[in-house]
Amino acid sequence: MTTSLSQIWLFVAANAFIWLALGLVAYPLWRRRIAPQRYLRTPEAARFLGLSDRTLEKHRVFGTGPTFLKLGGRVVYTMDDLTKWAAKGCRKSTADKGHGRILPTTRRVDRPSKGPLA
């Protein structure tokens, strides 16, 4: 029994999707598309972090929030910057000091201490 070239081609074409899904055939590099980095506006970034929009805005104003970019008049965040900022708060226990600290969104004002002459 001889198989023709057209029969072989029909078999390969019919099973190509299955072979790709199973990883039996490598997808050519020139066909792969690398997704561009996604930027999140303040409401999307706040939802990602589980914060309110206003809280994230306060962090930005006080300089305690994640790194942001200004594109024109728009403030945007990268997913990497949000993840890195959130990771500063990682702790293993309540007694663990961790490697960083996420400050609260209140403005820190150094007030002079009331001494004996005040």
Of 62, 31, 33, 58, which Cα lies nearest the Cα of 46? 58
Q: Which residue type occupies 66?
A: P
Q: How far apart are CA 90 and CA 98, in angstroms?
A: 6
5 phi, psi to nearest 5 deg = -65, -35
Q: What pLDDT does 6 receive?
A: 74
Q: Predicted confidence band at 100 (pLDDT cuts at 50, 70, 90)?
A: low
User: For 48-94, how does the pLDDT look when each residue is reduced to its tens digit (9 = 90+)?
Assistant: 999 999 999 999 998 889 999 999 999 999 999 999 998 888 877 77
User: For 17-56, how does the pLDDT look when each residue is reduced to its tens digit (9 = 90+)?
Assistant: 665 555 555 555 555 566 677 899 999 999 999 999 999 9
User: CB–CB of 74/110 below 8 Å?
Assistant: no
Q: Is the pTM of this model over 0.85?
A: no
